[in-house]
């Protein structure tokens, strides 16, 4: 079976540090079959999605909630409380268009995610605590809890971590990539990847990861660029 080569990954993630790419390759090569990354097609779909969150430097991300008042009003909470969108969202200088006040990201997370995805209400701080992290943006206490369970299945050699207690780990290597592997498999994405290399196949996977994302086109472009680079 062809293993993942960090030099090959460098073509897909040109801004990434060489050692970091080697570490990623070593991590995934531990068991490509178990991780659902044992074919070129599966890898291309996986890395197309990962690139949207990790960028060309392949770095695990913590969700940004630096939204404008206009953008916030698309969230159900702020639709009901439009005045709070103005106070919580960022403010721009009308002449230079530069941000002169960042959004209150903690307040936004607690309000937008409060009472959803297994989180307690806004006052509990769960929205901020369990905001999106990792290469497939695990979001919400329910999903962090599910990750605890799937992690034991795929990483039975390392079961000492509780991501509900320590959610910040998902913003760090190797947990950023391991959480993506867990999501990839627990949501049946290897089988979806096997369906083909057409744009609709990429969209089907994107819809499972984040149905309402505005980045479908970017993920299709990622796949189109990455697939020819892999062997």
The rounded percent of the chain whose pLDDT value lies above 90 is: 94
Whole-number pLDDT of residue 212: 87
Compute how many other C-beta atoms are within 10 angstroms of the C-beta atom of residue 47: 28
Per-residue pLDDT tens digits for 152-161 = 999 999 988 9
Whole-number pLDDT of residue 60: 81
The answer, as to whether pTM is greater than 0.75, is yes
Q: Is the pLDDT of residue 176 over 80?
A: yes
Q: Is the pLDDT of residue 202 over 90?
A: yes
Overall average pLDDT of the 22-49 stretch? 97
C-alpha–C-alpha distance, residues 150 and 144, integer Å:
10
Q: How far is CA 125 from CA 9, 113, 223, in A?
A: 38, 9, 36
Helices (H), ranges, the chain: 6-12, 18-29, 40-54, 69-72, 76-80, 82-88, 105-113, 126-129, 141-154, 175-186, 189-194, 199-210, 216-226
Whole-number pLDDT of residue 208: 96
Q: How far is CA 8 from CA 11, 47, 86, 153, 198, in A?
A: 6, 12, 46, 28, 22
Q: Is the pLDDT of residue 1 over 80?
A: no
Do the Cβ atoms of 176 and 196 come closer than 8 Å? Answer: no
Whole-number pLDDT of residue 183: 96
Per-residue pLDDT tens digits for 110-140 = 999 999 999 999 999 999 999 999 999 999 9
DSSP characters over 101-148: E---HHHHHHHHHTTSTT---GGGTHHHHT--BTTTTB-SHHHHHHHH
Considering the chain, what is the average pLDDT of its residues?
95
């Amino acid at each position: 079976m062809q293993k993942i080569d960090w030099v090959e990954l460098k073509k897909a993630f040109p801004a990434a540090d060489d050692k970091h790419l080697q570490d990623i390759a070593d991590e995934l090569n531990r068991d490509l079959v178990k991780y659902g990354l044992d074919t070129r097609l599966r890898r291309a779909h996986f890395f197309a999605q990962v690139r949207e969150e990790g960028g060309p430097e392949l770095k695990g991300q913590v969700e940004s909630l630096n939204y404008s008042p206009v953008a916030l009003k698309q969230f159900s909470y702020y639709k009901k409380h439009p005045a709070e969108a103005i106070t919580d969202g960022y403010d721009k200088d009308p002449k230079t268009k530069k941000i002169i006040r960042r959004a209150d990201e903690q307040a936004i997370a607690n309000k937008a995610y409060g009472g959803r995805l297994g989180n307690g209400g806004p006052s509990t701080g769960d929205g901020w605590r369990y905001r999106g992290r990792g290469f497939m943006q695990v979001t919400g206490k329910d999903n962090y809890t599910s990750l605890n369970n799937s992690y034991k299945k795929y990483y039975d050699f390392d079961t000492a971590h509780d991501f509900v207690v320590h959610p910040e780990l998902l913003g760090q290597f190797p947990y950023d990539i391991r959480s993506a592997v867990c999501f990839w498999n627990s949501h049946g994405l290897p089988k979806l990847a096997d369906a083909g290399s057409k744009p609709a196949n990429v969209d089907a996977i994107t819809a499972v990861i984040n149905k309402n994302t505005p980045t479908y086109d970017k993920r299709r472009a990622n796949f189109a660029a990455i697939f020819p680079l892999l062997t």
